[in-house]
Amino acid sequence: MKNPASPKVFIFAALECEAKALIYHLGLKKNTNNNAFTIYSDNKTILTITGVGKVAMAGGVAYAMALYPHLQMPVLVNIGIAGHKNQALGTLHMAAKVVDSESGKTFYPQMLKNGWPEAKEIKTMSKPCSRYNSDCLIDMEAAAFYEMAIRFSSCELIHCLKVVSDNEQSSIEKISSKIVNDWMTNQLTGIVTIIHDLTALKASVCSTELNDFDEIVQQWHFTVSGEIKLKSLLQQWQVLSTDHWLSMNTEGFSNAKGVLKKLESDVNALEVYL
Output the pLDDT for position 5: 62
Output the pLDDT for position 206: 63
Backbone angles phi, psi at 10, to 5 degrees: -120, 125
Output the pLDDT for position 4: 55
The letter for the amino acid at 127 is K
Q: What is the pLDDT along the chain (274 residues), one digit of tens a residue?
A: 455 567 899 999 999 999 999 999 999 999 988 778 999 999 899 999 999 999 999 999 999 999 988 787 899 999 999 999 999 999 999 999 999 999 999 998 887 677 899 999 999 999 988 888 778 999 999 999 999 998 888 888 999 999 999 999 999 999 999 999 999 999 999 999 999 999 988 876 665 567 788 888 888 988 866 777 787 788 778 777 778 888 887 667 889 899 999 988 888 787 544 3
Category of 189 on φ-ψ map: left (φ > 0), alpha (ψ -120 to 50) or beta: alpha
Q: Is the pTM of this model over 0.85?
A: no
238 close to 211: Cβ distance less than 8 angstroms: yes
Output the pLDDT for position 12: 98
- CATH class in words for 9-205: alpha beta
Say how many Å lie between the first and final Cα of the chain, rounded: 43
191 close to 174: Cβ distance less than 8 angstroms: no
Would you kindly state where each structural domain of the chain is located, as residue ranges?
9-205, 209-272
d(CA 257, CA 266): 14
Output the pLDDT for position 90: 97
Number of C-beta neighbours around residue 82 at 10 A: 25
Strand ranges, E, within 114-178: 119-124, 136-139, 158-166
